[in-house]
Amino acid sequence: MRLAAVVLVLAGASAHAEIVPLGSCGPIDRRHDHVEVIGSALQRLNKIPIGRFGVVAFRDGVARPIVFQLDERRGRKVVVEGPEVLKPDHRPGEFDYDDGIVVMPCDAGERPPEATRDAFMARAKVLAWREVQIEDTLTGRRGYVYVVVADTPPTTTARYADYGPGDAVRTAAYRIAMENALPTQLTLTDAGERNLLDGFRLRAEATYLANLLTATLTEQGARHRLLAWNSGAVRVTRRSQHDVHVALGVHLSAGVSHTYFYPLHIRGPGKMRLPISPGSLFTRVSAMAGVDMQGLEGWRYRHAGGTGELVIDGKPGPEEAHFAAPGPWFVVHGDDVAILTALRLSANLSRSLPVHLVYVDDATRMQPPERHVGSVPLVGYRMDAIERLPAGYYEFEFGVFILTGYRPGDERRVLDGFATPLHVTVTGRSASASAPAAAP
């Protein structure tokens, strides 16, 4: 009953949500990044009802509310709810020291004169405010947003993202739907809103010590489950679990993963702990992970190790038959829109695990257990010699970025931003900071 009620609520929210595209950027021209400000950095705004918060930015001396969301958290994890997970916040409905306010840096504005700022705060009957500075260390530019608290705070009903029935996320730029916690549909607004995705692909092979047995794995041999979600105005958070039974009683778990969906990008940070090296059980382990796409004839493929482009036409040419390139990024693009995929590994993981790109462009290809003929194209990553990984703790993150109005080379700016986080500091606050905390 709980799940049915949640689905009905989500269906209603999706039907009435005002999904808008990300607008023109202010001082911080990074459209594929987000900013999260934790409650402890906002100084004495705890125990305030979350409905009293708003976020504004000044452009040309005028303050306007911007899209934001307030994520209640338990420690470092966003509070989510769903069919299998329901863990409330410490104080549901109130802002805590570990909760977070999420905004898009593109929406930041300038720092206004004090008189302009104070006049706005007085007109809006703001009880407390915090000035948040966002610095792009790539350019040295700075932008500002103001977290405000009021009985009736300045807010907007616009949203950048929404989560709906069918385990689907939509923004103004894309829609992605999942089945059994894996992507099955991807549509781009600038590509005719047709499904570009045939499905997720996972292929792995492991040879046991003494060559007693070689086990193979596909995406259908693993167990993937959606656990829970959190749908906000800036991003959708999905929590899922992925387990693999290899053979001879060996059970592997990738644990619980979190995927974050933003207006123009998707990010999936991950952590992995190996109590022992895979080489203790296997003489050889290799794996491939990617997506089988469809209907991209006429698009082109660019990658980290190349200087030119491959034309996607469903016909494998000589260069494609011997394709070999190192990671960590690739682009598939049409005339005006592109999908950039990038992988970032912690230093200890990148040293031990070389990553290679996968590219197959063949409309006649059939590789069981796939049900549909053709890979136009299959794109992803291949990892060999996984057995050499020592025991240890590793971190990684993948990013998928939608680039509108794309021109070859535009990916460089996004990749630089992916590798260089924004610097966020709380630089100012109102004198009456403690006043709202005493309000009922």
Nearest to 440 by CA among 151, 42, 154: 151
Closest among 234, 287, 224 to 257, alpha carbons compared? 224
**For the residues 239-257, what does the mean pLDDT come to?**
62
Cα dihedral angle (132, 57, 38, 161), rounded to 10 degrees?
Answer: -150
**Mean of pLDDT values over 182-198:** 92
Average pLDDT over residues 48-53: 94
- Considering the chain, what percentage of its residues have pLDDT values greater than 90? 56
Residue 254: pLDDT over 60: no
User: What's the mean pLDDT when you consider all of the chain?
Assistant: 86
Q: Is 259 exposed, middle or buried (0-12, 13-18, 19+ CB in 10 A)?
A: buried
DSSP string, 285-347: EEEEEEEEE-S-TT-EEEETT-SS-EEPSS---HHHHT---B-SEEEEE-SSEEEEEEEEE-H
- What pLDDT, on the 0 to 100 scale, is given for residue 8? 34
Instruction: Give the closest residue to 190 by CA, choosing from 13, 339, 372.
Output: 339
Q: What is the dihedral of CA 165, 169, 171, 174, to 10 degrees?
A: -110
Burial 23-32 (b: 16+ CB within 10 A, else e): eeebbbbbbb
Residues 11-31: what's their mean pLDDT? 79
Residue 3: the pLDDT is: 36
Percent of the chain with pLDDT over 70: 87
CB contact at 8 A, 34 and 235: yes
Alpha carbon distance 389, 281 (integer Å): 12
Hey, what are 91's tokens? 């104080």
- Which range, of 118-122, 276-280, 326-330, 399-403, averages the lowest pLDDT? 276-280
Would you call the peptide bond into 263 cis, given omega within 30 degrees of 0 as the criterion? no
pLDDT given at position 246: 53
User: In 178-299, which ranges are continuous DSSP H helix?
Assistant: none
| DSSP state letters, 126-148 | -SEEEEEEEEETTTTEEEEEEEE
Q: Give the global pTM.
A: 0.89
DSSP letter, residue 90? S
Higher-confidence residue of 389 and 93: namely 389
Secondary element (H or E) of residue 231: strand 222-231
The mean pLDDT value for 60-82 works out to 88
- Between 8-22, 213-227, 368-382, the lowest mean confidence (pLDDT) is in 8-22
* The amino acid at 206: A
Lowest mean pLDDT among 3-12, 39-48, 96-105, 195-204: 3-12
What is the per-residue pLDDT for 44? 86
d(CA 401, CA 389): 29
Six token digits for residue 257: 């993963």
- 326 vs 120 pLDDT, higher one: 120
300 burial (CB, 10 Å; 0-12 / 13-18 / 19+) is middle
Residue of 339, 433, 403, 389 lying closest to 48 (CA atoms): 433
Contact 187, 170 (CB under 8 A): no
User: Following CA atoms 310, 171, 51, 64 in sequence, which dihedral angle do they give, to the nearest 10 degrees?
Assistant: 80
Segment 32-48 mean pLDDT: 92
- Domains of the chain, CATH where assigned: 2-160+422-434 (no CATH), 166-419 (2.70.98)
pLDDT at 238 over 60: yes
Say whether pLDDT at 308 is over 60.
yes
Across residues 49-64, what is the average pLDDT?
A: 96
CA distances from 387 to 283, 286, 292, 355 (A): 7, 8, 26, 14
C-alpha distance from residue 134 to each of 2, 57, 360 (Å): 40, 12, 41
